[in-house]
């Protein structure tokens, strides 16, 4: 994102009118590789192809803001891999993280990852480090620390059905799991912000908050998102394109000022 695009985004968030009307898109691994003409596995395994695909996007659509911009990731495997999840990478399909918690009792022994060294996270940081000079040369900066949200990660570590069942049947263990993941996420976001001082925004992606009722959201979602979005950054961005009528009224309380929603609200 260029300096002028960042200022435009801040102006929109602060309620100022922009002319012409700005446009912004989330772009990531589900569509960038095939749009660029390569396989998804090539996008994940080649720093050069990853960078070229992102540069082509910003050069093809220079008037649009891409969020978060130059997103270094390995799909939904990114954060679960740090907890020891087995990750499957088909050549040209989305990767998948397999569950590691086989019963609610398994939550008790879940390891606490170190984002500096564990799973795919060091590769996320190092890819951005290697690409940063060329990103800067293109007039852009790394603006966002990005992570999947705590309920999203819990859903991968247990399986979504198993996690939601545990939420209702063993709330204390569920809180223990979400607290452990949230502590890890705070460290992971802080690591990104330390590595790249140009970061002034957080993007969390969590569709599982769209799968639960208001009571469950207020107990198992709201307090953890408030903590994660309490960071001292200008842009606090949440993605949830699952049904969001339950959680959307709590966006201000969570501290969120930019929201990417699904199609169920206008």
Q: What is the CATH number of the domain that holds 190?
A: 3.20.20.210
Residue 252: inside a domain: yes
| 3-class state of residue 205 by DSSP | strand
Residue 67: inside a domain: no
- What would the pLDDT profile of 6-15 be if each residue is shown by its tens digit? 999 999 999 9
The H-or-E segment that residue 144 falls in is strand 144-148
Q: What is the mean pLDDT of residues 135-157?
A: 98
Do residues 97 and 86 make contact, with C-beta atoms less than 8 angstroms apart? yes
Q: What is the mean pLDDT of residues 257-261?
A: 94
Angle (CA) 2-58-153 rounded to 5° is 85
Do residues 224 and 250 make contact, with C-beta atoms less than 8 angstroms apart? no
The yes-or-no verdict on residue 264 having pLDDT over 80 is no
The yes-or-no verdict on residue 114 having pLDDT over 90 is yes
| 243 Rama class: left (phi>0) / alpha (psi -120 to 50) / beta | beta
Residue 12: inside a domain: no
Cα atoms in the 13 Å half-sphere on the side-chain side of 151? 27
Do residues 158 and 185 make contact, with C-beta atoms less than 8 angstroms apart? no
Cβ neighbours of residue 102 closer than 8 Å, sequence gap 6 or more: none
Quick one: tokens of 176?
């223990």
Quick one: tokens of 145?
């620390």
Number of domains in the chain: 1
Q: Show the domain range for 119.
A: 75-261
pTM for this prediction: 0.96
Q: What is the mean pLDDT of residues 102-107?
A: 97
Angle (CA) 62-66-71 rounded to 5° is 125
What confidence score (pLDDT) does residue 262 get?
81
The residue written with tokens 């925004």 in the block is 201
Residue 150: inside a domain: yes
Residue 4: inside a domain: no
Please count the residues of the chain: 266
Quick one: tokens of 76?
């939904």
- What would the pLDDT profile of 181-213 be if each residue is shown by its tens digit? 999 999 999 999 999 999 999 999 999 999 999
Q: What is the mean pLDDT of residues 51-75?
A: 96
Least confident range of 20-29, 61-70, 224-233, 251-260: 20-29
The DSSP symbol for 74 reads: B
What confidence score (pLDDT) does residue 14 get?
95
Cα atoms in the 13 Å half-sphere on the side-chain side of 230? 9
CA-CA distance, 185 to 181, in Å (whole number)?
6
The residue written with tokens 């060329």 in the block is 134
**Portion of the chain with pLDDT greater than 90, in percent:** 93
- What would the pLDDT profile of 20-60 be if each residue is shown by its tens digit? 899 999 988 888 999 999 999 999 999 999 999 999 999 99
Residue 57: inside a domain: no
Query: For 211, phi and psi rounded to 5 degrees?
Result: -100, 0
Quick one: tokens of 70?
């130059």
CA-CA distance, 142 to 192, in Å (whole number)?
10
Do residues 177 and 234 make contact, with C-beta atoms less than 8 angstroms apart? no
Q: What is the mean pLDDT of residues 68-78?
A: 97
Give residue 109's Cα distance to chain centre.
25
State the chain's mean pLDDT as an integer: 96
Q: What is the mean pLDDT of residues 82-106?
A: 97
Give residue 137's Cα distance to chain centre.
25
**Portion of the chain with pLDDT greater than 70, in percent:** 100
Least confident range of 45-49, 93-97, 119-123, 262-266: 262-266
- What would the pLDDT profile of 231-255 be if each residue is shown by its tens digit? 999 999 999 999 988 999 999 999 9
Residue 66: inside a domain: no
Residue 151: inside a domain: yes
């Amino acid at each position: 994102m260029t300096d002028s695009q960042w200022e435009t985004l801040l102006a929109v968030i602060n309620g100022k009118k922009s002319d012409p009307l700005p446009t912004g898109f989330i772009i990531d691994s589900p569509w960038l590789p095939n749009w660029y003409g390569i396989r998804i596995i090539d996008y994940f395994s080649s720093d050069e192809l990853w960078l070229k695909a992102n540069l082509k996007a910003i050069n093809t659509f220079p008037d649009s803001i891409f969020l978060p911009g130059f997103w270094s990731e390995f799909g939904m495997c990114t954060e679960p891999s740090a907890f020891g999840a087995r990750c499957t990478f088909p050549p040209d399909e989305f990767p998948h993280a397999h569950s590691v918690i086989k019963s609610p009792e398994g939550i008790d022994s879940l390891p606490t990852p170190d984002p500096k060294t564990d799973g795919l996270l060091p590769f996320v940081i190092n890819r951005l480090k290697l690409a940063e000079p060329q990103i800067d040369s293109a007039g852009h900066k790394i603006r966002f620390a990005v992570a999947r949200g705590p309920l999203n990660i819990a859903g991968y570590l247990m399986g979504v059905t198993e996690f939601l069942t545990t939420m209702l049947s063993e709330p204390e263990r569920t809180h223990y799991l979400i607290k452990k993941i949230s502590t890890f996420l705070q460290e992971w976001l802080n690591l990104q912000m330390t590595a790249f001082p140009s970061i002034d925004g957080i993007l969390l992606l969590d569709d599982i908050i769209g799968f639960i009722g208001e009571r469950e959201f207020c107990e198992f979602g709201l307090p953890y998102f408030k903590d994660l979005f309490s960071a001292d950054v200008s842009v606090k961005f949440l993605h949830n394109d699952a049904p969001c009528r339950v959680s959307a009224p709590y966006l201000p309380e969570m501290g969120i000022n930019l929201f990417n929603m699904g199609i169920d609200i206008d």
